[in-house]
Amino acid sequence: MKGLIFTEFLAMVEEVHSLDMVDEIIENCDLPSGGAYTTVGTYDHTEIVALVCELSAKSGVEVNDLLKAFGTYLFTSLSRTYPEFVSKADDPLSFLEEVETYIHIEVRKLYPEAELPTFYCSRPNSPNELHMIYESMRHMEDVCEGLIIGCMKHFDQKFNLTREKLPDGNELFILEKLG
C-alpha cells in the first residue's frame, strides 16, 4: 500500500485528535516500518489495519466509522493535492465513473507499483443513479464509502448511498443524486 495512505491517515489523526495520539498509536503497534512513512514508499496494508484498530481502541470510535471518516478526509486532501483530477468532472457521478478509466490510470503513472482496487460502473436505471462495484483483496469498503461521501461533499451534492454485499464478496455501492 502506498505511503500516501499512511501519511494522510496520520495527518487526520493529528488534526482530529493530537500529535500525541499519533505517537501513541504508532508506539503501541508492532509495525515493521517502525511507523516511519513516506508518501512514495510502499508498506504492508496490515500496518494501516493495526493503526486503525489501535486508534479505535484509544478513541472509542468503531473501526468502520474511522475508516469512513478517513475516506472522507482523504478525498478532501487528494482533491487539494491533485485538483486536475476533479476539475475535469462536471458532477460527482461523472467523476466517480472515471475513477477506473482515468484517475487510476493517472495514479499508476505517478506510482507504477500501486495496487489499486477495481471499479465497475454503470447507470442502469437513470442518469442520476450510479452503480459502482468495488473489488479489492484488501476489503477497504468503508474507506471507499468515505471517499464517495467526500466526493459528493466536494461537489456539494445531496445523495442517497446504499451498499450491498455481492455473492462474490465484492461490494456494490448505489448512489442516487437528489435535487
Task: For residue 176, give the H/E element and its range.
Answer: strand 171-177
Q: What is the pTM of this model?
A: 0.92
Query: Smallest Cα–Cα separation from 1: which of 35, 50, 45, 49?
Result: 45
Q: Model confidence over 120-157: pLDDT tens digits?
A: 999 998 999 999 999 998 899 999 999 999 999 999 99
Inform me whether the pLDDT recorded for 32 exceeds 90.
yes
User: Do the strands 171-177 and 129-135 form a parallel or antiparallel pair, or are they unpaired?
Assistant: antiparallel
Q: Model confidence over 89-109: pLDDT tens digits?
A: 889 999 999 898 888 888 788
Q: Which residue has the higher pLDDT, 110 or 29?
A: 29
Q: Model confidence over 6-26: pLDDT tens digits?
A: 999 999 999 999 999 999 999
Q: What whole-number distance in Å separates Cα of residue 124 and Cα of residue 174? A: 10
Q: What are phi and psi of 7, to 5 degrees?
A: -65, -35
pLDDT at 161: 97
Q: What whole-number distance in Å separates Cα of residue 64 and Cα of residue 155? A: 24
Alpha helices in the chain (DSSP H): 3-16, 19-28, 45-59, 63-81, 83-87, 92-98, 104-110, 141-154
Q: What whole-number distance in Å separates Cα of residue 68 and Cα of residue 112? A: 26
| Average pLDDT of the segment spanning 109-113 | 82
pLDDT band at 163 (very low <50, low <70, confident <90, very high): very high
Q: Which residue has the higher pLDDT, 150 or 82?
A: 150
Inform me whether the pLDDT recorded for 86 exceeds 90.
no
Q: Using DSSP, state whether 53 is helix, strand or coil.
A: helix
Q: For the chain, what's the residue count?
A: 179
